[in-house]
Amino acid sequence: MFGLTIAVNAASDADPSASPTRSLIEHYRSDRGALERLYDIDLSSQRVVRLQKLLDDYSAALDQLDFSTLDEAGRIDWILFRNQLQFEKDELDFGAKKTAEVADLIPFAPIIVGLEENRRLMQPQDAEASAKLVSGIYRQIAVARERIEKQLKDGTAPDAVHGRRAAMAVDQLRRALGDWNRFYAGYNPTFTWWLKEPYTVADKALEDYAWFLREKLAGFKKGGDEPVIGDPIGRDALIRYLQAEMIPYTPEELIEIAEKEFTWCEREMKRAADDLGYDGDWKKALEHVSQLHVEPGEQPKLIKQLADEAVEFVEDHDLVTVPDLAKETWRMEMMSPEQQKVNPYFLGGEVIQVSYPTDTMTQEEKMMSMRGNNIHFCRATVFHELIPGHHLQGFMAQRFNPQRQLFRTPFLVEGWALYWEMQFWDLGFPKTAEDRVGMLFWRSHRCARIIFSLKFHLGQMTAKECIQYLIDKVGHEPRNATAEVRRSVNGDYRPTYQAAYMLGGLQLRALHKELVDSGKMTNRQFHDAVLREGPIPVEMIRASLTDQPLSKDFKSNWRFYGK
């Protein structure tokens, strides 16, 4: 680490704009990336050991920096980096624990991990010895299958969560064994002579075993959609995630906040239903709005019109600086049917990915997709994905404080886009009752995301109950509700990700009230300043914009949700 310290000091001297903390962060991102590309099997114990050492080394280097000499930006980076290093240490421990829970379902894992890691580390290859190891994989799988069949009969088999987790591990191990085999097969005659048959047998056994775990333990059916199962993390882990995101609330307090916001949404939705002549029946109002969609093939034209309207709105109200290049460079793609099973709506940023029916969908799926992406739902979300939402946010993040990508949090990233939904509502963006229904549908959905995602990880709701909750309380189409829950609980997102939309928006709204409503900043000054801080916890943005004194032992304490 002495050499690293010298490198950090040299980088600071060469580039006056880079603080010591920024240089250390940039070195860490590069070093971590290099190690993760080398040790790319999540199940590897050597990967855990090596990354743990890296985290310890950088923690020591961070402690060597003189906090008292850092400027405000440097102190914020120091606090964020310390927080990130501790979170990643905890995640390594948590990941190892989850792997250990299914270790008896994948007894052959050490063999495959060892073979592939030795190859990557360029260790000598003994083809005959490797053939014996690979031949043993089939036998270990046979023993494991026999044990599981017995457990299924006596009611002691692992549950669906662990079955799915083990199946995903087998998939990763099969890919690793394939990479190992491809490196030698055909290039090394001795390897091919010894391994051709054992590898073929092992590869087929792994493929069959992964499906066996999915079918017998997780309830998959061939030809059908993957069941929504998820992997709840429990209350302690959930609190750890919230602490890492600098959210000083318990899960139960956050659920209470969501329920209060939901009450507001329900009241406003009934008013909109009254205006549409449905006597407060929000489900009838929602059904009415859902029928107002464009014809197949016309959705891209609608998206372009709505994107231009949103840019005009923010510029007319002098809300935020929109560079001409940002307006010019966003693009549009259509989402595949498979992608729409996970995300039935938009995904955004520089490229907005649009969900709409394709010719391979069933008639029912086509109609649900059109209803779920109707004109007024789209009007409430296009600006969320593009300008002033994710596209503008990403455009600015590449140009200001890029080192802070390491601390990227959905409470700012998704909170920023959701915050604009609140701002547009307050500024009169919805022109009709239908527009209000569209915006309220999404706002209700963000409240529901907090409730069902946190309750799922607390063990208070099953995935099936989460789906039904979205149908009953928000008005989702069944297919779309299933896709929303699947993407929330299948492990592709952080456990707190879905809660971050509304909660991050409420944080920014509280900060806007503190700085803009008080007259300390204009709207444009405030929004431009937030964008320049990078995708970091909102409490740290608040500390910067309010010149808050910061100490090394800083702990999150901003209770942003008031009456």
Residue 485 lies in a domain: yes
CB 384 within 8 A of CB 421: yes
Q: Final residue of a domain: which of 52, 67, 101?
A: 101
Three-state secondary structure string covering 55-76: HHHHHHHHHHCCHHHCCHHHHH
* DSSP 8-state assignment for residue 347: B
Residue 452 lies in a domain: yes
My answer on whether 282 and 136 are in the same domain is: no
My answer on whether 119 and 207 are in the same domain is: yes
Q: Residue 242: give the domain boundaries.
A: 237-545
Residue 225 lies in a domain: no
Query: Residues near 421 by Cβ (< 8 Å), separated by ≥ 6?
Result: 380, 381, 384, 439, 442, 443, 505
What is the spatial distance between Cα 549 and Cα 416, in angstroms, rounded to a whole number? 25
My answer on whether 329 and 397 are in the same domain is: yes
Which of helix, strand or coil describes residue 462? coil
Provide the sign of the torsion angle of the four alpha carbons 319, 323, 324, 329, taken in this order.
Answer: negative
Q: Final residue of a domain: which of 146, 181, 216?
A: 216
My answer on whether 190 and 246 are in the same domain is: no
pLDDT digit of tens for each residue in the chain (563 aa)?
Answer: 444 543 444 334 434 556 789 999 999 999 999 999 999 999 999 999 999 999 999 999 999 999 999 999 999 999 999 999 999 999 999 999 999 999 999 999 999 999 999 999 999 989 999 999 999 999 999 999 999 999 999 999 999 999 999 999 999 999 999 999 999 998 999 999 999 999 999 999 999 999 999 999 999 888 777 888 889 999 999 999 999 999 999 999 999 999 999 999 999 999 999 999 999 999 999 999 999 998 888 888 999 999 999 999 999 999 999 999 999 999 988 888 777 776 767 777 888 888 777 878 888 888 888 888 888 988 988 999 999 999 999 999 999 999 999 999 999 999 999 999 999 999 999 999 999 999 999 999 999 999 999 999 999 999 999 999 999 999 888 888 898 898 888 777 889 999 999 999 999 999 999 999 999 999 999 999 999 999 999 999 999 999 999 999 999 999 999 86
My answer on whether 171 and 160 are in the same domain is: yes
How many domains does the chain divide into?
Answer: 3
For 266, phi then psi, to 5°, come to: -65, -40
| Burial of 391 per CB tally in 10 Å (0-12, 13-18, 19+) | buried
Residue 561 lies in a domain: no
Residue 559 lies in a domain: no
My answer on whether 133 and 169 are in the same domain is: yes
What pLDDT score was predicted for residue 18? 62
My answer on whether 450 and 484 are in the same domain is: yes
Residue 461 lies in a domain: yes
Residue 227 lies in a domain: no
My answer on whether 453 and 323 are in the same domain is: yes
- For the full predicted model, state whether its pTM sits above 0.75: yes
Q: Among candidates 449, 299, 325, which has minimal Cα distance to 387?
A: 325
My answer on whether 202 and 246 are in the same domain is: no
My answer on whether 46 and 158 are in the same domain is: no
My answer on whether 42 and 172 are in the same domain is: no
Residue 83 lies in a domain: yes
My answer on whether 172 and 277 are in the same domain is: no
